[in-house]
Amino acid sequence: MSPVTRYALTFPGTPGTQAPQDVVVVERTSASGPGGHPVYEDATGIVRAEISEAGEVRMLASGGHQTPHCPVHAQPLP
């Protein structure tokens, strides 16, 4: 089985509002995260995540003073 190269990460909307969920597409990079799994990032490089083969997601800060939110779902993309 070939490794997944892209994921759609779905984040919750703003609490207390009727805001829709945010979906961000991330692509695999050549980097590995602290857990040894591949790092994926969006086109801006701001959203970064380590995603295991089992689909477990660990969000990674891409800059100082950033507290990334955890997605509610990670969907592999073709």
pTM: 0.85
Q: Over the stretch 38-73, which tens digit does the pLDDT of each residue have?
A: 999 999 999 999 999 998 999 998 887 777 778 878
Q: How far apart are CA 72 and CA 70, in angstroms?
A: 7
Q: Where are the domains of the chain?
A: 24-77
Length of the chain: 78
Is 1's pLDDT higher than 70? no
Which 3-state string (H, E, C) describes the chain? Answer: CCCCCEEEEEECCCCCCCCCCEEEEEEEEEEECCCCCEEEECCCCCCEEEECCCCCEEEECCCCCCCCCCCCEEEEEC
pLDDT of residue 16: 79
